[in-house]
Amino acid sequence: MKLRFAEPKEITAIYRMYSDYQGVEMASIGLKFDAVRLMQEVEDMVKSKAVFVGESDGKMIGAVAGYLIPSGCTPDVFFQTKFFYVCPEYRHKTPQFIRELMEFLKSTPATKLIIASPSYAPEGLNRFFKINGGVEVERHFMWPVEREVVHA
């Protein structure tokens, strides 16, 4: 398996992976999935070299996108994933995918890798991350900011 930057010709395939994940994630917390906005996001991330593709035997097996974010209270720089997806038939290669990503990150200012685990994920996914060296950092909660509708 190897990790490389995504190419523009792969935007549609990456979109499908991301929309599969995001569609389920958004629905699980009551948000409306916006396919047009997501396609634009994927295009922008690929163009800015923020998406990596995992490849095995010439096939795309998964993708990860993220950004470098400096910590506000430590000297660390986080590579915060926006999405991390490995196709179901290749999930057995996920540990290798993570190792390849960690190896790549050595060439960047990143000092920590952050992968989010969806709120609906089975406990097995969190256990998998822990078995493979991950440390649970925090859980996030969301509240809507309600606004009054002003009619003209």
**Residue range 99-141, pLDDT digits in tens:** 999 999 999 999 999 998 777 777 888 888 888 888 888 777 7
pLDDT at 147 over 80: yes
What per-residue confidence (pLDDT) applies to 32?
77
Tokens representing 114 are: 């952050």
What per-residue confidence (pLDDT) applies to 35?
83
H helix runs in the chain, sequence order: 11-28, 35-47, 94-105, 123-131
For 55-99, the pLDDT digits (tens) are 999 999 999 999 999 999 999 999 999 889 999 899 999 999 999
**Cα separations (Å) of 59 from 7, 53, 86, 110?**
14, 10, 12, 27
Band (pLDDT 50/70/90 cuts) for residue 18 is: confident
What DSSP element (H or E) covers 66? strand 59-70
Backbone angles phi, psi at 65, to 5 degrees: -130, 145
What per-residue confidence (pLDDT) applies to 21?
64
**Cα separations (Å) of 28 from 21, 31, 53, 86, 91?**
11, 8, 26, 20, 22
The region that residue 72 occupies, defined by phi over 0 for left and psi between -120 and 50 for alpha, beta otherwise, is alpha
More confidently predicted of 107 and 27: 107
What per-residue confidence (pLDDT) applies to 68?
95
What per-residue confidence (pLDDT) applies to 4?
94
Contact 89, 101 (CB under 8 A): no
Calpha distance 32→57 (Å, rounded): 36
